[in-house]
Amino acid sequence: MREMTIGTGLAPEHGRREGLLNGQAIRVPTMTPKRAIVRRPGKSFTRCVSCHPMRDTVNLARALEQHAEYRRALSELGLDVIELPVDDEHPDACFVEDNAVVHRGKAIICRMALDSRRGEEADVEGVLRQYVQVKRTEEPATLEGGDVVHFDYRLISGISQRTNRGGVQQMRSWFRVKIDTIADTTMMHLKSHLTHLGKNVCIVNRRYIDNMALQGLILIPLPEEDAYAADALSVGDTVLMAKGRPEAHRRVRHVGFDVIPLDTSEFEKCDGALTCLSILF
């Protein structure tokens, strides 16, 4: 892999199409999906599954405000925002990304690891069947979208607390695509540590920077204090990133992307982040 060197100068604030990689200008591509599936937090959101130390302070009203801002940002970036009905039965239902993986005209509906989350996927499946071919993950495999990092002609999937090898194999068979894996059963989801911004440029936590699956990629390592910002959402030349991580924002801007900081504090308390809140396709 190539680890990029961050310089001291910042790229221009708007209209960025180029950035710097080891002192050389690089062209940043536009890889823009058309749609985003989202779901607002339900009344049971404060009972989300989480190990976060601030878990007991989750504020539903504030989460709804933050989700509204998230939806506005997606819409302003040109996406058709498809909003699912609120699911008050499943506390984690707003984290729709885990329900399905979509790749090149196909979708696999996930069999999530936790019993408390199974059933969330029905509404997601109903929408996806209107646009793409759909297959369901079959037991005993488990698979969650939060483990799957997308590239044009391959995927990288975590083997984690939530996704097992059987889930990856079923996904590989359905999509007929190369899938590399990063195995670490101490992590919840791979996307908490790795985001593909486009053109093989990724932000990554140093924990995985030497993993063989990342060879050939341009890697932007994040400082430990900004580790949460590794879960970011790229839409074309723009990256939605967690607010309050200025060094992470600076590094992403430096390679040619616009950054929109969003407050995700209530979702962070539920062990969630920006990619968790939508399925882009």
Which residues have a catalytic role annotated? 189, 276
Task: Kindly report each contact of residues 207-211 with a partner whose C-beta sits within 8 Å and lies 24 or more positions away, as own/partner.
Answer: 208/182, 208/184, 209/1, 209/3, 210/1, 211/182
Q: Dihedral (C-alpha) 260, 34, 154, 24: value to the nearest 10 degrees?
A: -40
Cα(142)–Cα(138) distance, integer angstroms: 8
Question: Between β-strands 35-38 and 80-83, what pairing exists: parallel, antiparallel or unpaired?
Answer: parallel
45 class by beta-carbon count within 10 Å (0-12 exposed, 13-18 middle, 19+ buried): buried
Alpha helices in the chain (DSSP H): 60-76, 121-128, 165-175, 246-254, 265-268
- Label the pairing between strands 279-280 and 35-38: antiparallel
